[in-house]
Amino acid sequence: VVLVAPQGLGKTMIAQNIAHQAVLAGHSVLFVTASQLLLDLAAQESARALDRRLRHYGTRTTLLVVDEIGYLSYDSRNADLLFQVVSRRHEKRSLVLTTNLAFSDWPTIFPNASSAIALIDRIIHHADVLSLEGTSFRRREAEQTQATRRAKRKG
């Protein structure tokens, strides 16, 4: 599942709910932000340690949720690491991704278009892509709070 939407529309909450339902159904789940995942993988000091961590993210859990792809740009190494995780899970294990960018914008966060295209190709092969539209919940809440404060000051 890929959840695509601007900030504040509930992508993370939906992903957490999917993960929760998977746990209730008896599946193993790992929830991680894209930055946490890539920092962890990049911090591995040997090829052996990296391979162990790639297995951890790639095949050890039934469901891997990677939150917030697209909020940061990736260098070549991080793009390669993310591709390896997705490739290891491809057709073997479930994956939920959240992103604030349409796939057409992914080349802006990856160092070269070919890595973005290869990654997108693997991700969407069997995915349900859900695009959410609307106004940010946080923004609406902030506007309501401000309106309430103004009304109290006037009253």
Number of residues assigned to the chain:
155
Give 87's contacts (C-beta < 8 A, 6+ positions apart): 58, 122
Residue 24: per-residue pLDDT: 98
Spatial contact of 130 and 1, defined as CB atoms under 8 Å apart: yes
Give CA–CA dist 146/111, Å, rounded: 41
This prediction has a pTM of: 0.89
Q: What angle do CA 57, 52, 62 make, to 5 degrees?
A: 30
Give CA–CA dist 111/82, Å, rounded: 13
Give 91's contacts (C-beta < 8 A, 6+ positions apart): 125, 126
**Grouped pLDDT means (10 residues each) for the chain, 155 residues:** 96 98 98 97 97 96 97 90 95 97 91 85 95 88 87 84
What does the H/E/C string look like for 34-55? HHHHHHHHHCCCCHHHHHHHHH
Dihedral sign, Cα of residue 101, residue 96, residue 78, residue 10: positive
Residue 23: per-residue pLDDT: 98
Packing angle between helix 113-124 and helix 76-89, nearest 10 degrees?
A: 20
